[in-house]
Amino acid sequence: MPDTKDKLKELLARHDLMTGAEWGRKRAELEERRVRGDFEIDRIVPGEVVGDGEDRFYRVVTEFPPETQQGGLALGDVLEAIPEHVALCACDPDLDDFDPATALFLDVETTGLAGGTGTVPFLVGAGFFDNGVFRLEQTFMRDFDEEEPMLRYLGALFARGTSIVTFNGKSFDVPLLRTRFIAHRLPFRLDGIPHFDLLHAVRRIWKLRVKDCSLGNIERAVLGLERRGDVPGADIPLIWFDYLRTRDARELKRVFYHHRMDILSLAALTARLSRGLAAPGREGFDHDEDRLSVVRLHFRQRRYDNVISRAEQLLCGEPDPVLRRECLAMLAFACKRRQDWEGMESAWDRMAREFPFDPLPRLELAKHYEHRARNLPEARRVCEEAIALLGADEDDPATHAIRQRLERIRRKLAKGGEFDL
């Protein structure tokens, strides 16, 4: 019979466990390697020290061929992004001249997520096209005294961009960088150049369907991209502070990966947005929620011809009734803005038939028949039909508005319909 010591050895071997003595030796060995610098950043994430003397920082440069895939799209696809589409989804006419070939795709990792004067960017990355490749530069400060030389270098790098692309950069990245440049009395070269903040564009197109528009969730839902070996963004500040204390950069390898993926996805999402908006009809987006969001986007930009064409294409399918109702309403209002009275009347009539208990279409039809078509009997019929369907709830604002209109129409008819009050 095996004794207790043999049983313990067998159990440890089976589960790949260590004894206390073995674990102590392992810890001592790891500590010795730390002291030797085996886990310093240059051993874990290959790069180079930039600068001389005390004015130094660490930089990692990676070059990606344009055919490099990021979520089913090649990085080079962003070069085909149409400026008009970028300006449209950004709701920013300053981006009408957006040129992806000279844009900077920018992301920052910091010592805190709340921002403020005490927050420092320890990892700043910029991706851009250079000599036919997508060049990604990740600048990293190994300690607080490397911030100023890193920012001076970034100032020169920023000067090459004609625009910047970020994800929530208008609220976080750019204000934070501005604060740090000012603190070091350095000129901040990103002020005044066009800024495409993808977070707002992504929300306009995909929030109706995806709800959570964080970059990681959009990667999964829109690009079909699953990261491997990533680190949660909330853990990143603590990982850097641990590195300052231990000089152990092993966890930072995942931070560099996270940061690199963020920047590559900026290029892929820019390409995806433009490609979707450029495609005719229903082809650009696979889900009716996204297609309706595009109709909303054109409506917000007062591009009523596009609203009409895209709404009609969406209605050719079988969208969810909630989506269908909103689409019909935007179609009708777009026809009204274009003074296409026949199209407007047709859209409201269609909505009234499909959604008989919705007061909006009959209220709008009553206005049309009363003031524009000058058909008071038809206006009265529409109002009476609406009240019959909606009931006599005097507390309901829609019912109250229709009752008031009906009373005025009846007075006009009683007077012979001579006056348009």
pTM score: 0.86
CB 397 within 8 A of CB 390: no
pLDDT, one tens digit per residue, over 363-412 is 999 999 999 999 999 999 999 998 888 776 666 787 888 888 889 999 98
- The H or E element containing residue 223 is none
- The H or E element containing residue 103 is strand 103-110
In angstroms, the Cα distances linking 277 to 17, 207, 280, 309 are 56, 16, 8, 13
Q: What's 41-278's CATH class?
A: alpha beta
pLDDT, one tens digit per residue, over 130-186 is 999 999 999 999 999 999 999 999 999 999 999 999 999 999 999 999 999 999 999
- The domain ranges of the chain are 41-278, 288-414
Low-confidence residues of the chain: pLDDT under 70? 1-2, 5, 7-9, 11-13, 15-37, 115-117, 392-395, 417-421
pLDDT given for residue 20 in this prediction: 64
CB 157 within 8 A of CB 290: no
pLDDT given for residue 112 in this prediction: 87
Segment 27-34 long-range contacts (CB within 8 Å, at least 24 positions apart): 34/246, 34/247, 34/248
Phi, psi (5° rounding) for residue 191?
A: -70, 135
Tell the CATH superfamily of the 288-414 domain: Tetratricopeptide repeat domain (1.25.40.10)
N-to-C CA span, the chain: 107
Hunting for tokens 């129409």 — which residue is that?
A: 409
